[in-house]
Amino acid sequence: MNDKKERALIVGVNVDYQENFTKLMDELENLALACDIEVAGRETQNLIEINKPLYLGKGKAEEIAVLAKELNVDVVIFNNELSHTQLRNLQKIIECPILDRTSLILDIFSRRARTKEAKLQVEVARLEYMLPRLVGLHSSLGRQGGGSGLSNKGSGEKKLELDRRRIEDKLSDLRKELEELSKDREIQRKQREESDIPLVSLVGYTNAGKSSLMNYMIDRFVKDDDKKVLEEDMLFATLETSVRKIELEDNRKFLLSDTVGFISELPHDLIKAFRSTLEEIKNADLLLQVVDYSDPDFYAQMQVTKETLEKIGASDIPVIYVYNKSELMLDKLPLIDGNEIYLSIKEGRGMNELLDMVIDKIFSSYKRCKMLIPFSDGSVVSYLNEHATVMETDYNEKGTILTVECRPAQYEKYKEFVIEEVQ
């Protein structure tokens, strides 16, 4: 068995002296590492604007071709998404497989997808990316081709047309399958909405600590290791949306969801393909935006999250900003300022305070009262046990006495049974 890692040369164009260019190149290197690719070298060029036919200058492209041979790399990875023309022109100069940032992210998603829905979503995004680039992909296509069974080496126009038709047919089939899964997800979502349990969604940049926060809550309130989500120090460790019911000590409960992390220049096709998964975020009552406060570029990452939430129509949902890994930057924790909290998930410092903030946000409009429900109205007791938070149950000769906390609409619906308001 050959465990030899692929070697790559990473290449980027710094357009008009971007402030975050070095960070984007570091991120590209981490994306390569997440694909088990060893980065053997890095080449950059400063340009006022991208060279449309070739992405970078012709002389620089020729330098990269020589360097790729000297370093004996298996692939050259570019930091921006390449058009089919750029890919075709570069391939004529650089005689080894070429990837861009988008195809690398697609590769990672393809490796990490576990559920049927995630695998279908990634495949749709990958094929949509490939379709306009068939002419330029050449040997790169063989590397990315994965499960499609397509190879484009030395193909002529008829072969290209055949490949196009195959991809279009496959896309059509995959979209139908996704549509069915999306309907199932919609049914599950409606069932959750009907249960009247608040939904809290974890959002943020990839590798900020969302899965760590989810697993902390599972350890504390669920106590079932099988319910935990994958938690690794790598980009895109989580692709699937995981929803867990968190039942607090006082019988209150809410749903907590963890979903795919965001990243700079997250491919449009991926956002589109994962839209049904990201719909979970849109339906949340509260967002916890997890931020890696120890990262020097945390503010830029927050902007990426903000822009992605706007794209999926989730920018109006209340947010608590959770500045994780603050133990690396601050001595005193937790630190709370309005809807911001600086804490350490790893050390558990500030987690009680975060929980108090969540409870305050999602239950602030709830009504707490005592209801006396006649034995003849047993269905009301069943409903409240299932859809509200029953704090205490007692009985007298007239019926069941429930101390409940419920949504205002539920309170209005069963107001006739209220015998006492509880603070």
Q: pLDDT over 90 for what percent of the chain?
A: 55
Show me where the domains of the chain are located: 6-112, 116-131+148-195, 197-363, 367-421
- Residue 261 DSSP class: P
The 10 Å Cβ neighbour count of residue 195 is 13
CATH number of 367-421: 3.30.70
Contact 377, 241 (CB under 8 A): no
The 10 Å Cβ neighbour count of residue 200 is 19
81 closest CA partner among 24, 157, 153: 24
Residue 156 confidence class, pLDDT cut points 50, 70, 90: low
pLDDT of 414 reads 96
- Residue 152 DSSP class: -
42 closest CA partner among 10, 8, 77, 13: 10
The phi-psi region of residue 171 (left if phi > 0; otherwise alpha if psi is between -120 and 50; otherwise beta) is alpha
The dihedrals phi and psi of 190, each to the nearest 5 degrees, come to -65, -35
Q: Residue 406 and residue 402: Cα distance in Å, rounded?
A: 11
Structure tokens at 344: 């350490």
Q: pTM score > 0.75 for this model?
A: yes
Structure tokens at 91: 């391939």
Residues 6+ apart with CB under 8 A from 30: 235
pLDDT of 345 reads 96
Which whole number is the average pLDDT over 347-371?
Answer: 95
Q: Residue 187 and residue 345: Cα distance in Å, rounded?
A: 33
String of b and e for 291-326 (b: at least 16 CB within 10 Å)?
bbbebebbeebbebbeebbebeebeebebbbbbbbb
pLDDT of 182 reads 77
String of b and e for 272-281 (b: at least 16 CB within 10 Å)?
ebbbbbbbbb
Domain 6-112 has CATH 3.40.50.11060: yes
DSSP letter string, 5-33: PEEEEEEEEEET--TTHHHHHHHHHHHHH
Q: Do domains 6-112 and 197-363 have the same CATH topology?
A: yes
Q: Residue 413 and residue 280: Cα distance in Å, rounded?
A: 28
Give the model confidence (pLDDT) of 34-62 as tens digits.
Answer: 888 999 999 999 999 999 999 999 999 99
Beta pairing, strands 286-292 & 319-324: parallel
pLDDT at 5 over 80: yes
pLDDT at 235 over 70: no
- Give the chain's length: 423
Question: What's the fold here for domain 197-363?
Answer: Rossmann fold (3.40.50)
> 51 vs 56, 57, 97, 320, CA distance in Å?
5, 6, 20, 42
Residue 266 confidence class, pLDDT cut points 50, 70, 90: confident
Tokens 């500045």, residue located: 323
Residue 251 confidence class, pLDDT cut points 50, 70, 90: confident
